[in-house]
Structure 1
Amino acid sequence: MRMLATGLLSMAVMGLLCSSVGAAGMVEKGKALFNDPKFAEGTSGKSCNSCHPDGKGLEKAGLRGRKEWKNPGGTWLSLQDANNVCIILANKGKAIDPKSAEMKDLVAYIKSLAKK
């Protein structure tokens, strides 16, 4: 019985470690996209960081429980939609799939800004 409990506890700890390492990787990938002026085929030569140096102004964008996001393009019901509007209007890029790995990484980075 004790071995089973130890084994289950070990698996739970490994799962938590792997998920936090995976989340950290997503944040780093998202930060790289945030700083890349060619992200989403942008043609303006600007990155997300051009308007939001080091994420400035986005600290509240990643807060839990948020129901809408506002940007110069309007009011949006998801962070993914708000991101795409900025990509299209400010960066002159193409919208990315809201369910893509790139969007998940970008959202993970923006959510990490709320913790600073």
Structure 2
Amino acid sequence: MDIRVTLDGRPVGATLNGSPASRDFAELLPLALDLTDFHGIERVADLPRKLDTAGAPEPTAAKTGDLAYYAPWGNLALFYQNGPAASADLLILGHLDVGADQLGRARRITITAAP
């Protein structure tokens, strides 16, 4: 599932993985979110509502560039470092094709559906 993403106004390649949670995420688009740092490994932002996590795939650890959803807090996470061990609370939604440096400095993300 293709999406259009900009980080601080710069376009970056991105895709969603087609999971049930990523399809629910796509229903929220378009989004413009302010990002803050979390634990020196990810940039996070609150979503307007929690996503449906039914039918989630087996947990996997987040890797640099992953776009993820942390279910307990209902937030979006962009990993600029590899994440902690796999957790059922963290659902990978897709991936951003951008370097760790740009992700780590990002302050604003805009996401729209690709035509």
Query: Considering only CA atoms, is the larger Rg found in Structure 1 or Structure 2?
Result: 1
Question: Do the structures match in fold with TM over 0.5?
Answer: no
TM-score by length of 2: 0.30
Q: Of Structure 1 and Structure 2, which has the larger fraction of its residues in strand?
A: 2
